[in-house]
Structure 1
C-alpha cells in the first residue's frame, strides 16, 4: 500500500518520537513546517507542557516558508530559550528529512548557542 506524503511523515514522526523524550533538564525542540509558515516549540514531555514557541505567523518577513525564515525562527527560539535558562535540548525533526529548512533551522540554532 502506498502512503501519501503526509501519512509517510506521520509514520516517520511516530518512529522518531518512540526514541526521543524531552525532560525537564533537556526538553524537546520540535519543528513543524507548513506550506506558508515555519513553527518551533520547546516541550517538556515529563510534565506535558510547551515551554516556549516561535513561528513566522506574526513576523514581518515577506516569504515565511523558506530557509531564511527558518533561520529567523531559530534565532528567536534560541533567544527565548536563553532567557528561560535552557541551553540543552533534544532535537525532534518532526518526521521531516534532515534537509533544507529543517537542516537550516538546526544549524542556525546550534550557531546561536543551543546544544543538541
Structure 2
C-alpha cells in the first residue's frame, strides 16, 4: 500500500521540522537521535503536535479515494474516520517510542513490518 510510507514520511518530516540534519544519510532517512529530538519538541509544544496531525490528515485526504478506502479497511474504521484515527495512532506510536527511526525508514521504503501494521490497526 503506497499511502502508509507517504504518511510515515509526513510524520517523520513533521517531527524533524526543527531539527538540524546530522551526518550523511540517504534522502528521507531518519536517525534515531533526530527522531528523539523531534519527539521532545512535539511533547513540549502542543501546537507543533497539532500541526503534525493536521499535515498528516491533509496528506491522506490528497490521496485518491480508492487508496483512502483501502486504508480505512486496513485501519478498521470508516473512510471518514480514517485520516484522524490513522494519524493519531502513528504519531502516538512515534511519541511513545513504540516506532523507531528504523521502523519509519523501512516503512518509507515500502517494507511494512508487523509492528507498524499493529500500530496502524490499533493493536
The two structures have a TM-score, normalised by structure 2, of: 0.27
Ranked by relative contact order (alpha carbons within 8 Å, sequence separation 6 or more), the top structure is 2
The two structures have a TM-score, normalised by structure 1, of: 0.28
More helix by share: 2
